[in-house]
Amino acid sequence: MLGLIFLPWTTLMYVLVAPGGVNGFDWIWLALMLIGDLASYGGGIGRKQIPGYEGY
């Protein structure tokens, strides 16, 4: 449940690749999704530094 809250894309990819076991190329998919999750958090922080931006 925590994976869906904090790392949703990584958790989704894990569910897709884990039934047969995680090995080989599957680790690359998981790493890419982890980078995507972290980048989405970083993008939200960067928007708050834009002058005049009225976000949430």
Read off the pTM.
0.72
Residue 40 · residue 20 · CB < 8 Å = no
CB-facing half-sphere around the CA of 37: CA atoms within 13 A: 17
> Looking at residue 35, what is its pLDDT?
95
One-letter amino acid for residue 32 of the chain: L
What per-residue confidence (pLDDT) applies to 20? 86
What integer pLDDT is reported at residue 15 of this predicted model?
A: 94
| Residues of the chain falling short of pLDDT 70 | 43-50, 52-56
With 0-12 / 13-18 / 19 or more C-beta atoms within 10 angstroms meaning exposed / middle / buried, residue 42 is: exposed
For the segment 19-28, what is each residue's pLDDT rounded down to a tens digit?
Answer: 989 999 999 9
Closest of 39, 23, 30 to residue 3, by C-alpha? 30
